[in-house]
Structure 1
Amino acid sequence: MRIDLVALERGVALLGSGGGGRTDTAATLLRMRHAAGHDIAVTPVSELPGDALVVAVGAVGATSALTEKLPGGHEFRDAVGAVERWTGTRADAAMTIEIGGLNGLLGLVAAEQLGLPCVDADLSGRTLPRLNQFSPVAAGRELGPVAFGEPGGQVLLLDHSTPVQIERTMRAVLTLTGWGVLALAPIPARELADCAVIGSVGAAAELGRLALALAPAQLAPAVGGRLLAQGRVVEVARRVDPERPDNPGFGRGSVTVQDAAGMLLRLEMENEYLLAMRDGVVVATTPDVLAVLDRRTAVPIACEDIRHGMEVAVLQLPAPSFWTDPRHCGPVAPRAYGIDSDPVLLAGQP
């Protein structure tokens, strides 16, 4: 299935929910591939043999460091090769670990570098900040073994560790390396329906196609979402939250938007926009996607870029059905981020 790169880039930016990293580097690599005569395409899970092994890959760490410590082109091969040797398997296809932000495009880059088809699925359905939030963990599977390759050529492999231990170890390593790529143990295609978000690449491209054609107020209902507010950013507050023992050093903050009638909408954010309140009442939360768009250009605005005085539209977009399932919602619900609130979703509370 061919993918429109322009639409996909806008779609993954929206699914970043204010995070996920900039898409510029990966988009440039894909444009070069397209200019060389290659199609940008994904393979539906249904077209894979049931025993085909799919390896999930993606970048982790400070994605902004990609422009300072450029990839050498060996990182994905190093990481996937390590996990293949450790497990005694051979990957038949690749998919991205998360469809939101940079990794939504990087999965296609990685698949080409590995010489593998890119599968229309991922492990997040949006952007998620922690490895122990990925869909296999929510489905009750182990996350390891995982292999980490960094730009300097070193490879780290973790096994016999819980998802929380893997997350903590990777955060410690990333303080030294800045960024790197991750490869998880290959998953049989027949098992993906139970532990992955199926069709997420195609869905992101369709979301992006609509976003490029419609104004924000039209986009929300067109995709089953809703417009939460249109107005001016009147306050941005940022802070460090050292009291949470599960917080790996992520900054916290809030954004307040005032509409033309004077009503206030407050967004709580970490790496992503997590919760929206109107007049003190929670009206939307993760795992639904909260997206802030520039009212003039409709370009998504990242948490790190939001500023006082911006004219914005705030959208609530529906989470993938995987995350609205009560069996899976816990790792991505507000309390997983230290926010004392039940989920408030478009699909109803799980």
Structure 2
Amino acid sequence: MRITAADVPALERGAALLGSGGGGDTATAAVLLRRQLERAPEPVVRSLGELPPTARVVPVGVVGATAAFTEKLPSGDEFASAVAAVERWTDERADAVLSIEIGGLNGLMPLVVAGELGLSYVDADLSGRGLPRLDQLAVAATGRGVAPAALAEQSGQVMLLAAGSDAMVERGARAFVAGSGGWAAFALAPIPAGELAACSIPGTTSAALALGRRVLAIGESPSRPALEAALGGSVLARGRVLEVARHVGPGRQGNPGFGRGCVTLADHPGGELLRLEMENEYLLALRDGAPVASTPDVLSVLDHRTGVPVSCDAIRVGLEVDVVRLAAAPFWTDPRRLPVLQPRAYGIDCDPVGVA
């Protein structure tokens, strides 16, 4: 499969939905992908089964404050520098790349990277949705580990995290981006294709593309049944946002946490109140105080008229929205991995909803 310019709108919409309110601005990433497609061959997207087991696949993505990405665009060398750093450290050359995260801008940027480096792109990722932390990636959840990893920023600085726990890599990466403009290109050490099936979520780019096509095909202001059919999910509420409250969330090791907040809306036509708890992503939905949906399922908020996903940063009072739920990838409902993404992993004292 090849990604063409005609595929970009659908891929952008699918990636934005899977971002669950986070993951960064897909519109900017879509512009960069279109420009890349204008000047280079269309990237080849291969399934895991199409790759030789010994092919070396490098996971790449943008880390840090993704909002800063739109203010300080890449110079073009960041990802090449990060990939080169892990190649030098491991003495292994990359044969292909895949995304660390299909949700949000990282659903598109690794395709840009594949085009820039002349590499194939693998139809898989390490998240299956939008995630806030590196120590939640699939390689961490399966015990493979995140290190070694490299980060590169716009002025040319490159940092290699050669070893350490997944939590240490997460802290090191946050410290690096805090002093380097807010975001950085990120690359993990090459992973043999034969080992990726055990530590990744396959088929996520093609699934995001198909999801985006279905949602775009139903047009603006769709009926609830039409929207649910296109999503392959459920509409939890349809109504006007009444209140948005924000505060600093619980931190770790004495450090401040991510921004936390909640959104309240009145569901039409019955008037029941739906409240969404959010951090970087939407995490928990309660109807009249009772939990009805939660992470690891993907919770997204859509502008009712346009169908465009509304991020946690952009949600505001007065918007008419649809709150929807998409089922989590089976990878995350496995009892061995569920603790990584359940509500308690974010400091919310609630069992996951709808997961056996």
> What is the TM-score with the length of structure 1 in the denominator?
0.95
Deviations 1:52-104 (A, max 9, x none): 01000001111222233221111111111111111111111001110000110
Aligned to 2:215: 211
- Secondary structure at the aligned position of 2:156 is classed as coil
**Aligned equivalents of 1:314, 1:86: Cα separation in 2:** 45
- The separation in 1 between residues aligned to 2:254 and 2:301, in whole angstroms, is 27
Identity over the aligned pairs, expressed in percent?
59
Matches for 1:1-350 after TM superposition, within 5 Å: 1-3=1-3, 4-36=7-39, 38-177=41-180, 178-214=182-218, 215=222, 217=224, 218-242=226-250, 245=253, 249-259=257-267, 260-345=269-354, 348-349=355-356
> 2:298, 2:250 → 1: CA distance?
26
Question: Which shows bigger deviation, 213-222 or 227-236?
Answer: 213-222
The alignment's C-alpha RMSD in Å is 1.5
1:262 offset after TM fit, Å? Answer: 1.2
CA distance in 2, matches of 1:103, 1:267: 24
* In 2: Cα distance, 1:247 partner to 1:257 partner: 32
Question: 1:244–1:261: structure 2 CA closer, same or farther, 3 Å change rule?
Answer: farther
Q: Deviations over 1:136-171 (max 9, x none)?
A: 111111210000001110100012200001101111
Secondary structure class of the residue paired with 1:102? helix
> Following the alignment from structure 1 to structure 2, what is the Cα–Cα distance between the partners of residues 245 and 111?
37
SS state at 2:184 partner: strand
Give ranges in structure 2 of 5+ residues lacking alignment. Answer: none
TM-score normalised to structure 2 length: 0.94
Is 61-70 or 186-195 further displaced after alignment? Answer: 61-70
What is the CA deviation profile of residues 198-241 of structure 1, one whole-angstrom value per residue up to 9, with x for unaligned ones?
00000000110111123372233444311100001011100112
Determine if contact 2:215/2:230 at 8 Å carries over to the other structure.
no
Instruction: Give a deviation string over 1:224-277, Cα, whole Å, max 9, x none.
Output: 311100001011100112565486531000001102211000000000000000
Report SS of the residue matched to 1:118. strand
User: Residues 17 and 216 (structure 1 numbering): CA distance in 2 closer, same or farther, change over 3 Å?
Assistant: farther
Alpha-carbon spacing, 1:87–1:246, altered in 2? closer, same or farther (3 Å):
farther
Cα distance per residue 1:291-333 (max 9 Å; x no partner): 1001111110001110111100000001111111111111111
Distance 2:338 2:75 in 1: 37
**Unaligned segments of structure 1, at least 5 residues:** none
Contact 2:25 2:70 in 1 (8 A): no
Counterparts in 2 of 1:288 and 1:109: CA distance versus 1, 3 Å: same
Partner Cα distance (1:40, 1:5) in 2: 12
In structure 2, relative to structure 1, the CA distance for the partners of 1:240 and 1:26 (3 Å cut) is same
Amino acid at match of 2:199: C
